[in-house]
Amino acid sequence: MTKQAVLFDLDGTLLHTVPDLAAAVNAMLVDLGKPVLPEETVAVYVGKGAENLVNRSLTGSMTEKASPELYAQAMANWQNHYTHINGNHSVFYPGVKEGLALLKNAGIKLAVVTNKPERFTQPLLERTGIADYFEVMVGGDTCPVKKPDPMPVTHACKLLGVEPSQALMIGDSVNDALAARAAGVECWLLPYGYNEGRSVHETPCDGIVNTIEEAAQRLLGTRVPQ
């Protein structure tokens, strides 16, 4: 085993958080007198931080931005709703807690590297009971830039005291893969998360694993159940 640390994305990797995100988005839209969105649509909008989620929800576009005035009002409303909703409906994906336990017990250093703002990330980890697994948490506003920029990944490695070559990134999207690759960190992707409507099988990465538990077993050299 050559890896000393594993960095995890959060939304779509450790937790299915779209029910919370969609509830906050739709409460925001109702406040603004706009029609609500299906959860499936909100899931496609997730991936590049709260700013993009709010803009995409307002415009129905992956790239267009709302007017500054509308965006400011919508973001304030969304943050207010999400603060109270965050963690209420989120659920673990199969094998997450088992995989985290395997890695932690093996002495692997663990970190969360997410585009979710810090003010929402730490409470979510605490409310779901997994905060103690992680030595480091890098949120979407910890660094000046978010994934797919490599800076958050590099920052996490520095905080953990490991070289990029000694770390593994596990995520669910092209943002994780691009950030890890640019940072010199190996990246494995999961097929079940939020990849902006695209399949991870179309995303260049170093491997695809079905669960966090399978990733832990593979990393530790133990047998993966068939």
Instruction: Sketch the domain layout of the chain as residue ranges.
Output: 5-16+90-220, 18-85
**Of residues 9, 11, 20, 176, which has the active-site annotation?**
9
List, in sequence order, every residue forming a beta bridge with 137; answer none if it has no partner.
Answer: 112
Q: How far apart are CA 6 and CA 24, in angstroms?
A: 30
CA dist list (Å): 185 to 80, 85, 175, 196: 35, 33, 13, 22
pLDDT number for residue 1: 58
Q: How far apart are CA 100 and CA 109, in angstroms?
A: 10
pLDDT number for residue 48: 83
For 44-100, write each residue's pLDDT tens digit: 999 788 899 999 999 999 999 999 999 999 999 999 999 999 999 999 999 999 999
48/40: higher pLDDT: 40
User: Is 42 in contact with 21 (CB distance < 8 Å)?
Assistant: yes
Closest to 124 in 3D by CA, of 3, 194, 204, 24: 24
Does pLDDT of 2 surpass 90?
Answer: no
User: Is 15 in contact with 172 (CB distance < 8 Å)?
Assistant: no
Q: What percent of the chain has pLDDT over 70?
A: 98
pLDDT number for residue 198: 87
Q: What is the pTM for the complete model shown?
A: 0.91
Q: What is the mean pLDDT of residues 174-193?
A: 96
Give the mean pLDDT of the chain.
95
Residue 201: burial class (beta carbons within 10 Å; 0-12, 13-18, 19+): exposed
CA dist list (Å): 1 to 74, 97, 185, 218: 47, 21, 15, 10
Phi, psi of 93 (to 5 degrees): -75, 155
90/226: higher pLDDT: 90
Residue 71: burial class (beta carbons within 10 Å; 0-12, 13-18, 19+): middle
Q: What percent of the chain has pLDDT over 90?
A: 91
pLDDT number for residue 223: 52
For 136-156, write each residue's pLDDT tens digit: 999 999 999 999 999 999 999
CATH no., domain 5-16+90-220: 3.40.50.1000
CATH no., domain 18-85: 1.10.150.240
Q: How confident is the model at residue 196 (pLDDT cuts 50, 70, 90)?
A: confident
pLDDT number for residue 197: 82
Residue 9 among the catalytic residues: yes
8/222: higher pLDDT: 8
User: Is 184 in contact with 8 (CB distance < 8 Å)?
Assistant: no
